Chains A and B, each alone.
Chain A
Amino acid sequence: MRALAWHGKQDVRMDNVPDPEIVNPRDCIIKVTSTAICGSDLHLYDHVIPTMQSGDVLGHEFMGEVVEVGPKSTLKKGQRVVVPFTIACGGCYHCNKHQYSACPNGLPADNQDIARSAYGQEMSALFGYSHMTGGYQGGQAEYVRVPFSDVGPIVIPDGVDDDKVLFLSDILPTGWQAAEFAQIEPGDTVAVWGCGPVGLFAVQSAFLMGAERVIAIDHYPHRLDLAAKFGAERLNFKETDIYDALMQMTGGIGPDAVIDCVGLESHGLAFDNIVDRVKQATFLGTDRIHALRQAILACRKGGRVSMPAVYGGFVDKFPLGAFMEKGLTLKTGQTHVQHYMPALLNAIMEEKIDTTFMISHRMPLEQAPDGYKMFSEQQNEVTKIVLKPGMAA
């Protein structure tokens, strides 16, 4: 089959790779109909995520048609499904608590050592996101092997367009969880750093959860305009002093909740800082946290900090004193996608949430390498690229 494979820094190619097969009883194979490039794929593209190997197939936002099922899969051939990017078993302690991204049962035991030494515990496996997260082939391909297909993928009713539901795989639940973690109360003002796809969904979700005002912060005018469509006020950090503006806009109190949707910038890992053993073993450097630092300083006393943004290693100059003295609460984590999917599918069906506004480009899977380059270089115009296997060029 054809698949987008990583070969090194800013080197991704369409390769011929072996077709996937059913390996474990709960597997299914899906024929991909739509798959997106995620902002976090750019971290792989720029090679700031460790444990990548040449030939790894990328992609963790995908959906498609079930074409083969293992003996213990509950899916049927022909069903259309969206696949969560987190691979979770549905039956362990963490899954029972709906902490799906903490499930260790999809992560091959040999791949658990790195997370054990870097994080103290292993996390869930992910599709197409390095060997530290399992080494599973991703969804920017014609076909994908999906483990735990009896509990992960959500079946999409006939007649619902791919573009409406594709983002259930990652960014919509991630934006929703980010807003939920901000513990929004009616009348709250919420500030969101970063208006990429997750930030834009966090803006939408925050309003749905009762926020009175949402202030969106970015430097790409087009992305700020998208946030404004949902009623957010825009702050461009190239034009405005963010702290001063937030203080004036909130009567000197600060936003009740702040959400960091920026995370480690694609150029944000400083390899020259790698000093200790863990960093060497894991390739993880020091994450830059400019947005988070600003968010903590701006947040009102007793407020909430939500951090959907991806960080991998260590941080310098984390304002721990401000965090403590102001009595802030921080909630973060990889998204428990399976927990949110059913309710968010309903919200989409009831047209409470719009996802299609985000898609700026649709292109054939074969053009995926061009897609990565565009997404990496033109972040103002390119908000989301959806790849369609089989689409005419």
Chain B
Amino acid sequence: MSDQQRDDGPTASSRRSDAPDELRETMAGGEGSTMSGRSVTINRPADEVFAFFRDFSNLAGIMENVERIDVLDDTRSHWVVKAPAGRTVEWDSTVTREEKGRLIEWAADEGASVANSGRVEFQPVEGRGTVVTLTTLYDPPGGVVGKVIAKMFQREPAIQARRDLNRLKQFLETGEVATAAVNREQHEREDA
């Protein structure tokens, strides 16, 4: 550890080179060397937001590039992510730590084509609902899988995470995800 000066900023927003290592150590089963952190305020109770998120099958409708998430058992789930040319990439993920209503951590199983892990925290804030903070760690791979990741995370993971969190906010606050589609056919085309 260096003796650099510390502040109170979230680890995922740190410029320190050892920050990903530090983050990984705090995350159960954490893996990956690239980090991103985003939060969004959702005007719903923390228990409700937690319950929605914890049923991972709900997230496929929220996350832009996730085609399907099969819940295998209490802690394990199977992720099917859209890839270029109509292909998909799949991996299994396990919940590594859980505090009901407050926190979920997960990690892709060993050998997954995309090493990734993450944490989502739910913090109730009086008069504002729940602050949802998503912190992810992953290793950007090369080759075909790298292209998949590039698509999954768009230009940078932070942007993709923000979009996904905003869709989550929209759905929980309004009961729908915003679209400018003028008719159902256009909506389905954009959703595909």
Residues in A lying within 8 Å of B, measured CB to CB: 17-26, 72, 89, 91-93, 96, 104-113, 116, 122, 125, 134-137, 145, 147-148
Interface code B146-164, partner A: CB below 8 Å = 1, 0 otherwise? Answer: 0000000000000100111
List residues of chain A with CB within 8 A of the CB of B184. 21-23
Whether B144 is near chain A, meaning CB under 8 Å from some CB there, is no
List residues of chain B with CB within 8 A of the CB of A23. 179, 181-184, 187
List residues of chain B with CB within 8 A of the CB of A145. 182-183
List residues of chain B with CB within 8 A of the CB of A113. 159, 163
Determine which of A18, A108, A147 lies in contact with B183 in the assembled complex, contact meaning CB atoms within 8 Å.
A18
List residues of chain A with CB within 8 A of the CB of B45. none
Q: Assess whether A93 is in contact with B167, with CB atoms less than 8 Å apart.
A: no
Residues in B lying within 8 Å of A, measured CB to CB: 41, 43, 64, 128-129, 159, 162-164, 166-167, 169-170, 173-184, 186-187
Query: Would A25 and B41 be within 8 Å (CB), given that A20-B183, A109-B166, A112-B163 are in contact?
Result: no
Q: Assess whether B176 is in contact with A93, with CB atoms less than 8 Å apart.
A: no
A138 to chain B, nearest CB (A): 11
Determine which of A25, A134, A136 lies in contact with B176 in the assembled complex, contact meaning CB atoms within 8 Å.
A25
Residue of B whose beta carbon sits closest to that of A70: B176
| Bound Cα distance A108, B178 (Å) | 5
List residues of chain B with CB within 8 A of the CB of A96. 43
B30 to chain A, nearest CB (A): 27
Residue of B whose beta carbon sits closest to that of A117: B159
Determine which of A18, A20, A24, A72 lies in contact with B179 in the assembled complex, contact meaning CB atoms within 8 Å.
A24
Q: Assess whether B180 is in contact with A134, with CB atoms less than 8 Å apart.
A: yes
| Bound Cα distance A21, B184 (Å) | 7
List residues of chain A with CB within 8 A of the CB of B181. 23
Residue of A whose beta carbon sits closest to that of B128: A93
Query: Would A109 and B170 be within 8 Å (CB), given that A25-B176, A26-B176 are in contact?
Result: yes
Query: Would A109 and B178 be within 8 Å (CB), given that A19-B183, A23-B183, A91-B43 are in contact?
Result: yes
Question: Could you tell me the dominant secondary structure of chain A's interface residues?
Answer: loop
Determine which of A92, A93, A105, A108 lies in contact with B180 in the assembled complex, contact meaning CB atoms within 8 Å.
A108
Query: Would A148 and B174 be within 8 Å (CB), given that A23-B184, A24-B179 are in contact?
Result: yes
A281 to chain B, nearest CB (A): 11
List residues of chain B with CB within 8 A of the CB of A148. 174
List residues of chain B with CB within 8 A of the CB of A106. 178
List residues of chain B with CB within 8 A of the CB of A125. 178, 180
Determine which of B43, B163, B169, B183 lies in contact with A110 in the assembled complex, contact meaning CB atoms within 8 Å.
B163
| Bound Cα distance A110, B177 (Å) | 11
| Bound Cα distance A20, B159 (Å) | 30
Residue of B whose beta carbon sits closest to that of A21: B183
8 contacts between A and B (CB under 8 A): A23-B179, A104-B170, A105-B178, A125-B178, A125-B180, A136-B180, A137-B180, A147-B178
B64 to chain A, nearest CB (A): 8
B71 to chain A, nearest CB (A): 24
Q: Assess whether A26 is in contact with B174, with CB atoms less than 8 Å apart.
A: yes
| Bound Cα distance A96, B184 (Å) | 30
List residues of chain A with CB within 8 A of the CB of B175. 25-26, 72
| Bound Cα distance A113, B64 (Å) | 14
Q: Assess whether B179 is in contact with A105, with CB atoms less than 8 Å apart.
A: no
| Bound Cα distance A145, B64 (Å) | 23
Q: Assess whether A92 is in contact with B179, with CB atoms less than 8 Å apart.
A: no
Determine which of A20, A92, A135, A147 lies in contact with B43 in the assembled complex, contact meaning CB atoms within 8 Å.
A92
List residues of chain A with CB within 8 A of the CB of B164. 109
Q: Assess whether B166 is in contact with A104, with CB atoms less than 8 Å apart.
A: yes
Residue of B whose beta carbon sits closest to that of A26: B176
B49 to chain A, nearest CB (A): 14
Query: Would A105 and B183 be within 8 Å (CB), given that A93-B41, A96-B43, A112-B163 are in contact?
Result: no
